[in-house]
Structure 1
Amino acid sequence: MWFSFKKQPPIRSLIGEGTAVHGELRFTDGLRIDGEVHGDVVAVGDRRSLLVISENARVHGKVMAGHVIINGEILGPVHSTELLEIQPKARINGEVRYEALEMHQGATIDGELKRSSSEGDKPTLMLAASNDV
Protein backbone atom coordinates (compact mmCIF):
# COMPACT_ATOMS: atom_id res chain seq x y z
CA MET A 1 0.00 0.00 0.00
CA TRP A 2 1.36 3.43 -0.95
CA PHE A 3 -0.11 5.43 1.91
CA SER A 4 0.18 4.71 5.62
CA PHE A 5 -3.02 5.76 7.35
CA LYS A 6 -2.85 6.40 11.06
CA LYS A 7 -5.88 5.15 12.92
CA GLN A 8 -7.66 7.85 14.89
CA PRO A 9 -7.90 7.28 18.64
CA PRO A 10 -11.45 6.48 19.82
CA ILE A 11 -13.57 9.22 21.34
CA ARG A 12 -14.15 7.94 24.86
CA SER A 13 -15.51 11.10 26.48
CA LEU A 14 -18.23 13.61 25.61
CA ILE A 15 -19.20 16.97 27.06
CA GLY A 16 -22.78 17.18 25.81
CA GLU A 17 -24.65 20.20 24.51
CA GLY A 18 -26.24 22.12 27.38
CA THR A 19 -23.47 21.03 29.76
CA ALA A 20 -21.06 23.55 31.32
CA VAL A 21 -17.85 22.35 32.95
CA HIS A 22 -15.75 24.60 35.20
CA GLY A 23 -12.14 23.53 35.74
CA GLU A 24 -9.33 21.83 33.86
CA LEU A 25 -10.16 18.81 31.69
CA ARG A 26 -7.43 16.20 31.16
CA PHE A 27 -8.09 13.32 28.81
CA THR A 28 -6.48 10.46 26.91
CA ASP A 29 -7.48 9.08 23.51
CA GLY A 30 -10.42 11.16 22.27
CA LEU A 31 -12.76 13.85 23.62
CA ARG A 32 -15.68 15.58 21.92
CA ILE A 33 -17.03 18.84 23.29
CA ASP A 34 -20.54 19.92 22.32
CA GLY A 35 -21.12 22.05 25.44
CA GLU A 36 -19.12 24.71 27.26
CA VAL A 37 -15.83 24.42 29.17
CA HIS A 38 -14.43 27.15 31.44
CA GLY A 39 -10.86 25.95 31.93
CA ASP A 40 -8.03 24.29 30.07
CA VAL A 41 -8.60 21.19 27.91
CA VAL A 42 -5.38 19.14 27.78
CA ALA A 43 -4.55 15.70 26.37
CA VAL A 44 -2.20 13.74 28.64
CA GLY A 45 -0.03 10.69 28.20
CA ASP A 46 2.21 9.48 25.42
CA ARG A 47 -0.60 8.13 23.28
CA ARG A 48 -2.06 9.95 20.31
CA SER A 49 -5.04 12.14 21.11
CA LEU A 50 -8.06 13.55 19.29
CA LEU A 51 -10.07 16.59 20.40
CA VAL A 52 -13.24 17.62 18.57
CA ILE A 53 -14.85 20.96 19.39
CA SER A 54 -18.19 21.00 17.62
CA GLU A 55 -20.10 23.89 16.07
CA ASN A 56 -22.04 24.89 19.23
CA ALA A 57 -19.17 24.31 21.67
CA ARG A 58 -17.28 27.03 23.57
CA VAL A 59 -13.97 26.70 25.39
CA HIS A 60 -12.68 29.49 27.64
CA GLY A 61 -9.10 28.37 28.25
CA LYS A 62 -6.08 26.67 26.74
CA VAL A 63 -6.61 23.80 24.28
CA MET A 64 -3.82 21.25 23.78
CA ALA A 65 -3.93 17.89 21.99
CA GLY A 66 -2.41 15.93 19.11
CA HIS A 67 -5.14 16.12 16.46
CA VAL A 68 -7.52 19.02 17.08
CA ILE A 69 -10.68 19.65 15.05
CA ILE A 70 -12.39 22.97 15.75
CA ASN A 71 -15.77 24.13 14.47
CA GLY A 72 -16.84 26.05 17.59
CA GLU A 73 -15.45 28.93 19.64
CA ILE A 74 -12.15 29.04 21.56
CA LEU A 75 -11.19 31.94 23.82
CA GLY A 76 -7.59 31.08 24.61
CA PRO A 77 -4.46 29.58 23.06
CA VAL A 78 -4.60 26.45 20.90
CA HIS A 79 -1.70 24.00 20.56
CA SER A 80 -1.89 20.99 18.25
CA THR A 81 1.13 18.66 18.21
CA GLU A 82 0.04 16.79 15.05
CA LEU A 83 -2.77 18.19 12.90
CA LEU A 84 -5.03 21.19 13.47
CA GLU A 85 -8.25 21.28 11.43
CA ILE A 86 -10.06 24.61 11.56
CA GLN A 87 -13.50 24.13 10.08
CA PRO A 88 -15.78 26.79 8.49
CA LYS A 89 -17.63 27.93 11.64
CA ALA A 90 -14.56 27.99 13.90
CA ARG A 91 -13.83 31.16 15.87
CA ILE A 92 -10.50 31.34 17.71
CA ASN A 93 -9.34 34.24 19.85
CA GLY A 94 -5.79 33.44 20.95
CA GLU A 95 -2.39 32.25 19.79
CA VAL A 96 -2.47 29.15 17.59
CA ARG A 97 0.43 26.66 17.38
CA TYR A 98 0.36 23.69 15.03
CA GLU A 99 2.53 21.09 13.34
CA ALA A 100 0.25 20.75 10.28
CA LEU A 101 -2.71 23.00 9.50
CA GLU A 102 -5.90 22.64 7.49
CA MET A 103 -8.12 25.73 7.49
CA HIS A 104 -11.47 26.04 5.76
CA GLN A 105 -12.99 29.18 4.27
CA GLY A 106 -15.18 31.04 6.77
CA ALA A 107 -13.11 30.24 9.87
CA THR A 108 -11.76 33.19 11.84
CA ILE A 109 -8.64 33.54 14.00
CA ASP A 110 -7.89 36.62 16.08
CA GLY A 111 -4.34 35.87 17.16
CA GLU A 112 -0.96 34.75 15.92
CA LEU A 113 -0.46 31.54 13.90
CA LYS A 114 2.86 29.76 14.51
CA ARG A 115 4.20 26.45 13.30
CA SER A 116 5.46 24.43 16.27
CA SER A 117 8.69 23.16 14.74
CA SER A 118 11.68 25.27 15.65
CA GLU A 119 14.15 26.58 13.12
CA GLY A 120 16.66 23.93 14.27
CA ASP A 121 14.37 21.17 12.98
CA LYS A 122 14.68 22.33 9.38
CA PRO A 123 17.13 20.35 7.24
CA THR A 124 20.23 22.10 6.03
CA LEU A 125 19.99 22.86 2.32
CA MET A 126 22.88 22.95 -0.11
CA LEU A 127 22.70 24.01 -3.73
CA ALA A 128 23.39 21.19 -6.16
CA ALA A 129 25.36 23.58 -8.40
CA SER A 130 27.49 24.83 -5.53
CA ASN A 131 31.24 24.18 -5.69
CA ASP A 132 31.49 24.23 -1.88
CA VAL A 133 31.55 20.79 -0.36
Structure 2
Amino acid sequence: MFSSKKDPNNVKLAKLATLIAHNVHISGDLEFSEGLRMDGQVTGNVTGRPGEETLLVVSDQGAIRGNVSAYDVIINGCVTGDVTVAHFVELQSNARVTGNIFYQKLRMDIGATVEGKLTKFDSQPTHVPSLPSPPEYGIDLAAN
Protein backbone atom coordinates (compact mmCIF):
# COMPACT_ATOMS: atom_id res chain seq x y z
CA MET A 1 0.00 0.00 0.00
CA PHE A 2 2.68 2.50 1.01
CA SER A 3 5.92 2.65 -0.86
CA SER A 4 9.23 3.66 0.65
CA LYS A 5 10.51 4.76 -2.76
CA LYS A 6 10.66 8.47 -3.45
CA ASP A 7 8.57 9.64 -6.40
CA PRO A 8 10.95 11.52 -8.74
CA ASN A 9 7.97 13.23 -10.39
CA ASN A 10 6.97 15.20 -7.30
CA VAL A 11 8.45 17.96 -5.19
CA LYS A 12 11.39 16.85 -3.11
CA LEU A 13 10.74 17.39 0.54
CA ALA A 14 12.53 20.42 1.87
CA LYS A 15 12.38 22.08 5.23
CA LEU A 16 10.28 25.24 5.02
CA ALA A 17 12.72 27.24 7.11
CA THR A 18 11.27 30.69 6.35
CA LEU A 19 7.77 32.15 6.47
CA ILE A 20 6.69 35.50 5.13
CA ALA A 21 3.42 36.12 6.98
CA HIS A 22 0.25 37.40 5.34
CA ASN A 23 0.65 40.91 6.77
CA VAL A 24 4.24 41.39 5.49
CA HIS A 25 5.11 43.28 2.29
CA ILE A 26 8.73 43.23 1.13
CA SER A 27 10.04 45.63 -1.54
CA GLY A 28 13.29 44.38 -3.04
CA ASP A 29 14.88 41.19 -4.29
CA LEU A 30 14.85 38.15 -2.01
CA GLU A 31 17.20 35.15 -2.04
CA PHE A 32 16.43 32.13 0.13
CA SER A 33 17.85 28.71 0.92
CA GLU A 34 16.06 25.48 1.88
CA GLY A 35 12.36 26.36 1.80
CA LEU A 36 10.25 29.50 1.85
CA ARG A 37 6.50 29.75 2.43
CA MET A 38 5.07 33.00 1.11
CA ASP A 39 1.79 34.15 2.68
CA GLY A 40 2.67 37.83 2.28
CA GLN A 41 3.70 39.96 -0.67
CA VAL A 42 7.02 40.65 -2.39
CA THR A 43 7.65 43.33 -4.99
CA GLY A 44 10.95 42.14 -6.42
CA ASN A 45 12.58 38.96 -7.67
CA VAL A 46 12.43 35.84 -5.46
CA THR A 47 15.31 33.43 -6.04
CA GLY A 48 16.32 30.15 -4.45
CA ARG A 49 20.03 29.96 -3.71
CA PRO A 50 21.79 28.60 -6.84
CA GLY A 51 23.02 25.01 -6.55
CA GLU A 52 20.55 24.14 -3.76
CA GLU A 53 17.33 22.14 -4.02
CA THR A 54 15.15 24.97 -2.77
CA LEU A 55 11.37 24.94 -2.40
CA LEU A 56 9.13 27.99 -2.76
CA VAL A 57 5.47 27.75 -1.71
CA VAL A 58 3.21 30.69 -2.59
CA SER A 59 -0.01 30.23 -0.62
CA ASP A 60 -3.44 31.42 -1.74
CA GLN A 61 -2.76 34.62 0.27
CA GLY A 62 0.71 35.13 -1.22
CA ALA A 63 1.67 37.39 -4.11
CA ILE A 64 4.93 38.06 -5.92
CA ARG A 65 5.43 40.89 -8.38
CA GLY A 66 8.76 39.93 -9.87
CA ASN A 67 10.55 36.98 -11.42
CA VAL A 68 10.73 33.69 -9.53
CA SER A 69 13.53 31.13 -9.73
CA ALA A 70 13.87 27.98 -7.60
CA TYR A 71 14.40 24.23 -7.76
CA ASP A 72 10.78 23.35 -6.86
CA VAL A 73 7.82 25.77 -6.81
CA ILE A 74 4.24 25.34 -5.61
CA ILE A 75 1.92 28.25 -6.46
CA ASN A 76 -1.58 28.74 -5.10
CA GLY A 77 -1.48 32.56 -5.12
CA CYS A 78 -0.49 35.27 -7.61
CA VAL A 79 2.79 35.71 -9.47
CA THR A 80 3.29 38.56 -11.92
CA GLY A 81 6.58 37.80 -13.64
CA ASP A 82 8.42 34.91 -15.21
CA VAL A 83 8.85 31.66 -13.27
CA THR A 84 11.91 29.46 -13.83
CA VAL A 85 11.88 26.08 -12.12
CA ALA A 86 14.81 23.66 -12.37
CA HIS A 87 12.81 20.58 -11.32
CA PHE A 88 9.08 20.63 -10.60
CA VAL A 89 6.34 23.27 -10.60
CA GLU A 90 2.84 22.71 -9.25
CA LEU A 91 0.07 25.18 -10.04
CA GLN A 92 -2.75 24.63 -7.57
CA SER A 93 -6.37 25.61 -8.21
CA ASN A 94 -6.04 29.25 -7.03
CA ALA A 95 -2.77 29.91 -8.91
CA ARG A 96 -2.69 33.03 -11.09
CA VAL A 97 0.51 33.50 -13.09
CA THR A 98 0.94 36.43 -15.46
CA GLY A 99 4.24 35.63 -17.13
CA ASN A 100 6.12 32.79 -18.76
CA ILE A 101 6.89 29.53 -16.96
CA PHE A 102 10.08 27.58 -17.70
CA TYR A 103 10.02 24.11 -16.12
CA GLN A 104 11.24 20.53 -16.27
CA LYS A 105 8.09 18.91 -14.79
CA LEU A 106 4.66 20.50 -14.41
CA ARG A 107 1.40 19.72 -12.64
CA MET A 108 -1.54 22.09 -13.09
CA ASP A 109 -4.84 21.78 -11.22
CA ILE A 110 -8.23 22.74 -12.61
CA GLY A 111 -8.83 26.45 -11.95
CA ALA A 112 -5.19 27.55 -12.21
CA THR A 113 -4.51 30.20 -14.85
CA VAL A 114 -1.39 31.19 -16.77
CA GLU A 115 -1.21 34.24 -19.01
CA GLY A 116 2.07 33.49 -20.74
CA LYS A 117 4.00 30.68 -22.37
CA LEU A 118 4.81 27.31 -20.83
CA THR A 119 8.28 26.18 -21.91
CA LYS A 120 9.64 22.76 -20.96
CA PHE A 121 13.37 22.24 -20.46
CA ASP A 122 14.55 19.09 -22.26
CA SER A 123 16.75 18.26 -19.28
CA GLN A 124 17.67 19.93 -16.03
CA PRO A 125 19.31 23.27 -16.90
CA THR A 126 22.93 23.71 -15.94
CA HIS A 127 22.12 27.29 -15.02
CA VAL A 128 18.99 29.32 -14.58
CA PRO A 129 18.67 31.92 -17.33
CA SER A 130 18.51 35.51 -16.25
CA LEU A 131 15.11 36.99 -16.85
CA PRO A 132 14.02 40.54 -17.56
CA SER A 133 12.12 42.62 -15.04
CA PRO A 134 8.42 41.77 -14.90
CA PRO A 135 6.08 43.82 -17.05
CA GLU A 136 3.91 46.47 -15.44
CA TYR A 137 0.31 45.23 -15.34
CA GLY A 138 -1.14 47.79 -12.95
CA ILE A 139 -2.04 45.17 -10.36
CA ASP A 140 -2.47 46.50 -6.84
CA LEU A 141 -1.12 43.75 -4.58
CA ALA A 142 -2.46 45.51 -1.51
CA ALA A 143 -5.99 44.86 -2.74
CA ASN A 144 -5.51 41.06 -2.53
TM-score by length of 1: 0.83
Question: How does 1:44-83 map onto structure 2 within 5 Å?
Answer: 44-83=49-88
Q: What secondary structure is seen at the aligned counterpart in 2 of 1:21? A: strand
- Runs of 4+ displaced beyond 2 Å: 1-7
Q: Which has the larger radius of gyration?
A: 1
Q: What secondary structure is seen at the aligned counterpart in 2 of 1:64? A: strand
Give the direction of change, closer, same or farther, for the CA distance of 1:88–1:22 in structure 2 (3 Å limit). same
The aligned counterpart of 1:32 is 37
Report the AA paired with residue 69 of structure 1: I
- Tell me if the contact between 2:48 and 2:71 (Cα under 8 Å) persists in the aligned partners: yes
Q: Percent identical across equivalent pairs?
A: 36
Report the RMSD for the aligned CA atoms in angstroms: 1.6
* Structure 2: stretches of 5+ with no match in the other structure: 124-144
1:41-93 deviations in Å (ceiling 9; x for gaps): 00013221100000011100001101100000000000111000000000000
- Given the alignment, which residue of 92, 111, 115 partners 2:116? 111
The aligned counterpart of 2:133 is none
Q: Distance between the aligned counterparts of 1:59 and 1:84, measured in 2?
A: 16
Larger displacement relative to structure 2 (41-50 or 75-84): 41-50
Q: Distance between the aligned counterparts of 1:78 and 1:45, measured in 2?
A: 15
Report the AA paired with residue 14 of structure 2: P
Q: Distance between the aligned counterparts of 1:86 and 1:5, measured in 2?
A: 18
Give the direction of change, closer, same or farther, for the CA distance of 1:2–1:9 in structure 2 (3 Å limit). closer
Q: Distance between the aligned counterparts of 1:5 and 1:95, measured in 2?
A: 26
Q: Distance between the aligned counterparts of 2:42 and 2:69, measured in 1?
A: 14
The aligned counterpart of 1:4 is 6
Report the AA paired with residue 88 of structure 1: S
